[in-house]
Amino acid sequence: AQRVTQPEKLLSVFKGAPVELKCNYSYSGSPELFWYVQYSRQRLQLLLRHISRESIKGFTADLNKGETSFHLKKPFAQEEDSAMYYCALSRANDYKLSFGAGTTVTVRA
């Protein structure tokens, strides 16, 4: 069975401070991991996926198979980063996503 855990429901940081959103998963096979984001009054959209190994909007995420984690990080948070963030997992080449419960990030000026 696939399971994604985001232990923090709410995260509040000051502008310019680092932010880290935790994500842990359980899956017996080889998963693909994603971060999706939902800004206020917008639809859910992809932020980044582990295979791409990209930095998107200053965010990075490293897949740690030993710790079964895929934490999302940004060194300097901006006010426009305030949003709901979901970690998600799919079976390889399946794209059927299992989502975590989400973390609401608020970046204060």
Partner 1 sequence: DTGVSQDPRHKITKRGQNVTFRCDPISEHNRLYWYRQTLGQGPEFLTYFQNEAQLEKSRLLSDRFSAERPKGSFSTLEIQRTEQGDSAMYLCASTGWGSGNTGELFFGEGSRLTVL
Which residues contact partner 1 (rule: CB under 8 A)? 4, 6, 9, 32, 34, 43-46, 49, 52, 86, 88, 90, 93, 95-102
Reference 23, options 107, 97, 106; nearest CA is 97
**Shortest Å distance, C-beta 18 to partner 1:** 24
Residue in this structure with the two tokens 């990030």, named with its chain if needed: 105
- Cβ proximity to partner 1: between 72 and 100 the closer is 100
Residue 77 in tokens: 């948070």
What does the chain come to in residues?
Answer: 109
Q: Are 15 and 108 in contact (CB under 8 A)?
A: yes
Cα(60)–Cα(42) distance, rounded to whole angstroms?
22
